[in-house]
A = this chain, B = another copy of it.
Amino acid sequence: MTTGAEAAARGIAEYLASQREVVDRALERLLPAGDEWPSVLHRAIRHSVFAGGKRLRPILCLAAADVFGAPPDDVLEPACGLEMIHTYSLIHDDLPAMDDDRLRRGQPTNHVVFGEGMAILAGDALLTEAFRIMTEAQRLKGINQKRVLQVVHIVAEAAGVLGMIAGQAADLESEGKEVDLPMVDFIHVRKTGALLLAAVRAGAILAEAKPAALRSLSRYGEYLGLCFQVVDDVLDAEGATEQTGKETGGDERRKKATYATVLGIPAARQRALELRDDALRALEGFGKRVEPLREIARSVVARL
């Protein structure tokens, strides 16, 4: 585990790699082994959880908690819960009835390997286990239980019909239709932005951040989430399979609502840079401990 100040000294790449290892070890410990029965379910879950994800959401949660000096152990389970919810959403989004993607992070998607029924169940399982793990009694000793309830609530809100699911439903509904910028905003703020924002907020809340600081970090999380999606849209449109690990051009093939199609690629790139700057501005006055959060914002745009 690494503090913000150490990270600033050592460089962001090393910081991200070490935090990713921390998250991977925790996920390994929290998920049933692949040979537990029914083993096909657990192998399906592990196929997608350990498929080379960047662990951006848990790392954001850990980094936000570190800003207020909370020990990483107080935040690790909720951080992993966020990754499990993210993974569930990818498994279900990839299904034939949704985006029908056969490749994700360079590997065959869950239903391609395990069949649609088991992929649906693996997703359901990850969503459910996230809430089980966040409320595990033994990890709640000494932690403010009101804060834990608040975090469960904001995570459920971000993942639910006011957040991720509204975004995905609107996305599904608008396929093949003419869409405008407000609609693309509606979809992306919810589909991607809501859970990234919840990750930052969850870390800050568990670390007992004061209201004003929580507001600043929330602004950072909002801009970062949108920035991340704009970059993703541009990379898909430019066909950078190497960068995305997905079959690219899929958005255009399905006539998806994206920033690249609504704004055009040059303006979308410009928007990503502006959103990064907005995110950085939200962190002004926090000093060295927010350096990892700053570097994460910079690294998102560096993929362009």
B98–A120 contact, CB under 8 A?
yes
Minimum CB distance partner of A161 in chain B = B125
**Quick check: is A267 within 8 A (CB to CB) of the other chain?**
no
**Quick check: is A185 within 8 A (CB to CB) of the other chain?**
no
How far is the CB of A76 from the nearest CB of chain B, in Å?
A: 17
**Quick check: is A302 within 8 A (CB to CB) of the other chain?**
no
How far is the CB of A34 from the nearest CB of chain B, in Å?
A: 12
Minimum CB distance partner of A116 in chain B = B97
- 8 Å CB contact of A118 from B37, B38, B135, B169: B169
How far is the CB of A118 from the nearest CB of chain B, in Å?
A: 7
Minimum CB distance partner of A37 in chain B = B170
A92–B169 contact, CB under 8 A?
no
What number of copies of this chain does the assembly contain? 2
Number of interface residues of A (CB under 8 A): 50
Query: In terms of DSSP, what is the predominant structure of the interface of chain A?
Result: helix
How far is the CB of A113 from the nearest CB of chain B, in Å?
A: 14
B137–A115 contact, CB under 8 A?
no
How far is the CB of A171 from the nearest CB of chain B, in Å?
A: 9
How far is the CB of A262 from the nearest CB of chain B, in Å?
A: 18
Q: Which residues of A contact B (CB under 8 A)?
A: 32, 37-38, 40-42, 45, 88, 92, 95-98, 115-118, 120-121, 123-125, 127-129, 131-132, 135-137, 140, 145-146, 148-150, 152-153, 156-157, 159-161, 165-166, 168-170, 172-173
